[in-house]
Amino acid sequence: MRSLFLSFSLLLPAEMKSFIRKRVAAYLIAGLLCMLLGSTKVSGAVPNKLVVETLRLNGNWTLKNKNGSLTLTAAVPGCVHSALLKQGLIQDPYYRFNDLEYRWIALDNWTYSRTFSLSSELRKRKKFNLVCEGLDTVSTISINGVAIGKTDNMFRRYTFDVTGLLKENNVIEVSFLSAVAYAAQQSAAHTSYKVPPDCPPAVQKGECHANFIRKAQCSFSWDWGPSFPTQGIWRAIKVEAYDVFQLTYLTTTPVYDPSINQWSVEVELFFDVAEMAVGHVTLLIPQLETQKTFEATLQPGLSRSTFLLPINKSMPVEPWWPNGQGNQSRYKLGVMVKTAGGHTLEAQTMVSFRTVELVQEPVAGSPGLSFYFKINGRPVFLKGSNWIPADAFQDRVTPDVLRRLLQSAADANMNTLRVWGGGIYEQEEFYDICDELGIMIWQDFMFACALYPTESSFITTVREEVIHQVRKLKSHPSIIIWSGNNENEAAIATDWFNVPLSKRQIYRNDYVTLYVNNIREIVQNEDKSRPFLASSPTNGDESVQEGWIAQNPYDPHYGDTHFYSYLEDCWDWKLFPKTRFASEYGFQSWPSFSTLQKISAPEDWSYSSNFTDHRQHHLSGNKEMLQQASLHFSLPASPDPLQHYKDTLFLTQVMQAQCVKMQTEFYLRSRSEIREGKGHTMGALYWQLNDIWQGPSWSSIEYGGKWKMLHYFAQNFFAPILPVALEDEEILLIYAVSDLQKDVSLSVVIKVYQWNSMEPVYVFASNSTEVQAGSATLAYKEPVKELLGRCGNCTRRSCLVTFHLEESGGQLGPANYHFLSSPKQAEGLQKPKLSATVEQQGGQYTVNLQTNAISPFVWLDAGDISGRFETNGFLMLTKNMTVTFYPWIPTSTSQLAKSLQLTSLMSLS
């Protein structure tokens, strides 16, 4: 048709040629869309269509323990704990002390079984595979009494050839071995040398030898979560039947050639081939009027074919951008495979066009190397947090749960999450949502805070894990980097495990074997489009030069750093590392009372209760929170025990929010400067975004989705443009931090208040300062003494400073504040009379606040009504203020008014 059109067009005027070309293209595209972008399953009524029949085995199975004393129905996907809970055989595992009460579940061996039938039509297929997307973790699988395979890795997809084994009626059994017992056995069998750590710290109340099993490391406990070493079929399980071949992976990688301004897409098709096939592969992106056909030969067995699809240069390509930087454009790509015998197979996927580069190069005025990301050639400051598993029981992590958490990250102006290496590779919906929202992913492989064995069986299963995960995930534009592990370079370099000097080389060799010679090798073979780091924190290229383990992986002149300091004053910015990239830092807090109330009893509602102590898995964590809070705030003094407990929970959130704010703002303003050879910080990912259960942690979102005060603060300190302040040698400096894509001329408007008055005693607007796109620019500088000298009777203790940025007389970005002294030393700060009324505005609710005095850290709590406020934890300087509440579940004005509780810092006195 294309040749016919070209011949015919020679006879027509230019205008008619253009008209016909467009109409023909439209018809071709419409037809091919119908043909290529439909379901990959095709009705048997269509001749010569290759059909991969899928019999899904999800649903109800029979579950029993080793001695047969328990037999019950269990949902698949799912786990043993969830099945026991659903059948009423156990309470909520998160309730009170049940993590200890239910240890027996993980120590037993459990077997899943069910029957399934194959129709006579299906049994005519030539090839049958049992495909297990996720088995947790150590199991033996049998069909009709015949053992077909074993598993030892919850992160792998296992495929077993069951051709010739299936009948009309079949029985499948998946017999699991206790992960705790297996890990202990593997450790005991490793007799040549120890592979530490043996067990987690006692305060974590966990299980031992997590590093000897390829399972979520935090399922054996962590310092923010419980020990629930689950067993079960945690992802899909199915029988796939076909005749000629089937498509097992379909990946896309955008490729940009700047020399000719040309985008292409590298498409990889992975097949399981029953019989050799010769034919053609057609690739099509209708939106870009791009199509090409390639010859292909598929050899029997596992086959991999790679094609490069050049994009029509006459069509503008919209790139994928991170949140806040532009649109998240995606395109449908259709695939049709047609064999010489006339068989066809169709599939579709999404492709996004973006490039990523990790820049490590010399920095003017500083030793070391830079460490920052360019997306589509543009330097981007990575701002966000770290992601942990959203539940110990993954069957409870629904797409709605993921959507709410990830939307909350985007709503707080985040553009990055680091998927931490002690959890899981997340489900497909997680990455789909991140693609949609523009949340970049720093993807760890699942190794954390431990040394690992390197015998051949362990390396083999890890290699299969990594190959599968890279192929499954590489098409997502949101993933911008692969990282080999969490903190294991640092663990060796700084000798976390007290290894004798004579034996340290053993572990260094193991490290290189696992992360460099295997994981890195696979990543570079499977995905050349993203950078790879062996660890986090790391010195990056400098670590490579030092044999992959740097002498000091926390060196702020290179790479990324993790930094925690709980007892030193978090308001002292000079204590923070002026690093190139801050990938972990943070402070603990407790969740709200409404969250804890669901899994506790009245006798637990005290900061000194056994429950409070039990739930804290970080050594001295409860004490550290109060010590840090007491540096700047008066501790709760209510004589009522329950109110005292609630006030203490609230104060830990105030402390956490303020501490992380101080540290994050330090990193934000360090992006454009070098001080004492350090600086050019280009990333701030605090620890951590979400919770795995209801307990104290570093999170900014509680289990269940409720925002802590920190998350509301993040909404401000990650804003596209904001002012941040610091004092240096009694001089007040205010920076304008901009993530905008254009230069702006900004002035700083400063207001000074006395704590005992809601009217500012001094207002000042600075001269305009040119603030370049993507920079932090000093916009105001003045000694505090001179500023206060213009404010009447102001002293450090009696006054505070607020400030915002203005462009052409209009405010740009959020306002901010600077305390001239600790609030506990403030003079004139009064206990306010806070009140509120609630009105409905469509699907939202307006909370009208009133106060008679300046109110720091005003907190609105809707109790069990799921939703979030427009802003929260704020400094209220006006008598009246309106805040919008966005409910996530249906509610009413009366319900919200009844549940609403108001707190501020002075409520604690």
Classify residue 218 by its DSSP letter.
G
**Count of CA atoms in the C-beta half-sphere (13 A) of 351:** 28
32 pLDDT higher than 60: no
45 pLDDT higher than 50: no
Which residues, 6 or more positions from 431, have their beta carbon under 8 angstroms from its beta carbon?
441, 473, 476, 478, 479
Cα Dmax for the chain? 96
Structure tokens at 749: 């408007």
Residue tagged active-site, from 133, 173, 240, 584: 584
Give tens-digit pLDDT for 301-347. 999 999 999 999 999 999 999 999 999 999 999 999 998 888 889 99
pLDDT of amino acid 52: 83
Q: Does domain 244-342 bear CATH number 3.20.10.10? A: no
14 pLDDT higher than 60: no
Give tens-digit pLDDT for 565-595. 999 999 999 999 999 999 999 999 999 999 9
The position carrying tokens 């297996």 is 182
Q: What percent of the chain has pLDDT over 70?
A: 94
Cβ(480)–Cβ(442) below 8 Å: yes
What number is the average pLDDT over the span 365-387? 97
pLDDT of amino acid 342: 83
4 pLDDT higher than 90: no
Number of other CB atoms surrounding residue 680 within 10 Å = 22
186 pLDDT higher than 90: yes
H helices present in 449-592, as ranges: 456-473, 488-493, 504-511, 521-526, 541-545
Cβ(525)–Cβ(471) below 8 Å: no
What 3-state class would DSSP assign to 24?
helix
Q: CA torsion 32→37→43→47, rounded to 10°?
A: 30
**Count of CA atoms in the C-beta half-sphere (13 A) of 204:** 19
Angle formed at CA 298 by CA 297 and CA 304, multiple of 5 degrees = 110
| Span 383-715 CATH architecture | Alpha-Beta Barrel (3.20)
The position carrying tokens 């030092």 is 546
| pTM assigned to the model | 0.94
Structure tokens at 320: 């994928």
d(CA 879, CA 851): 5
d(CA 283, CA 267): 9
What number is the average pLDDT over the span 485-506? 97
Spell out the domain ranges in the chain: 52-238, 244-342, 383-715, 722-825, 834-907
Give tens-digit pLDDT for 638-650. 999 999 999 999 9
Q: CA torsion 515→521→523→527, rounded to 10°?
A: 160
What number is the average pLDDT over the span 73-82? 98
Three-state SS sequence of 41-78: CCCCCCCCECCCEEEECCEEEEEEECCCCCEEEEEECC
Give tens-digit pLDDT for 779-801. 999 999 999 999 989 999 999 99
pLDDT of amino acid 522: 98
Q: Render 372-413 in DSSP notation, one character per residue.
A: EEEETTEEE-EEEEEE--S-SSGGG--HHHHHHHHHHHHHTT
834-907 topology per CATH: Immunoglobulin-like (2.60.40)
Give the model's confidence band at 857: pLDDT under 50 very low, under 70 low, under 90 confident, else very high: very high
Residue from 286, 282, 289 nearest 312 by CA? 289
pLDDT of amino acid 341: 82
Tell me whether residue 487 is one of the annotated catalytic residues. yes
Residue tagged active-site, from 487, 489, 526, 542: 487
Instruction: Give the range among 18-27, 819-828, 888-897 with minimum mean pLDDT.
Output: 18-27
35 pLDDT higher than 50: no
Residue from 753, 873, 749, 872 nearest 813 by CA? 749
Structure tokens at 637: 């003094």
Structure tokens at 687: 């620890």
Three-state SS sequence of 82-130: HHHHHCCCCCCCCCCCHHHHCHHHHHCCEEEEEEEECCCCHHHCCEEEE
9 pLDDT higher than 50: no
Give tens-digit pLDDT for 709-744. 999 999 999 999 999 999 999 999 999 999 999 999
Which residues, 6 or more positions from 607, have their beta carbon under 8 angstroms from its beta carbon?
622, 626, 644, 645, 648
Which residues, 6 or more positions from 579, have their beta carbon under 8 angstroms from its beta carbon?
556, 560, 561, 563, 667, 678, 681
What number is the average pLDDT over the span 463-471? 98
282 pLDDT higher than 50: yes
Angle formed at CA 717 by CA 715 and CA 720, multiple of 5 degrees = 80
Q: Answer whether the bond into residue 524 is a cis peptide, omega within 30°.
A: no
Tell me whether residue 133 is one of the annotated catalytic residues. no
Give tens-digit pLDDT for 104-158. 999 999 999 999 999 999 999 999 999 999 999 999 999 999 999 999 999 999 9
Q: What percent of the chain has pLDDT over 90?
A: 91
What number is the average pLDDT over the span 40-66? 73
Q: Which amino acid is at 355?
A: T
| Span 52-238 CATH architecture | Sandwich (2.60)
Mean per-residue pLDDT of the chain: 94
The reply to whether domains 244-342 and 722-825 share a CATH topology is yes
pLDDT of amino acid 48: 59
What number is the average pLDDT over the span 808-825? 96
Q: Render 658-674 in DSSP notation, one character per residue.
A: HHHHHHHHHHHHGGG-E
Q: How far is CA 52 from each of CA 55, 157, 344, rounded to the nearest angstrom?
A: 10, 18, 11
40 pLDDT higher than 70: no
pLDDT of amino acid 49: 66
Instruction: Write the CATH number of the domain with boundaries 722-825.
Output: 2.60.40.10
d(CA 418, CA 443): 6
d(CA 173, CA 237): 12
The position carrying tokens 């294309």 is 2
38: left (phi over 0), alpha (psi -120 to 50) or beta: beta
760 pLDDT higher than 70: yes
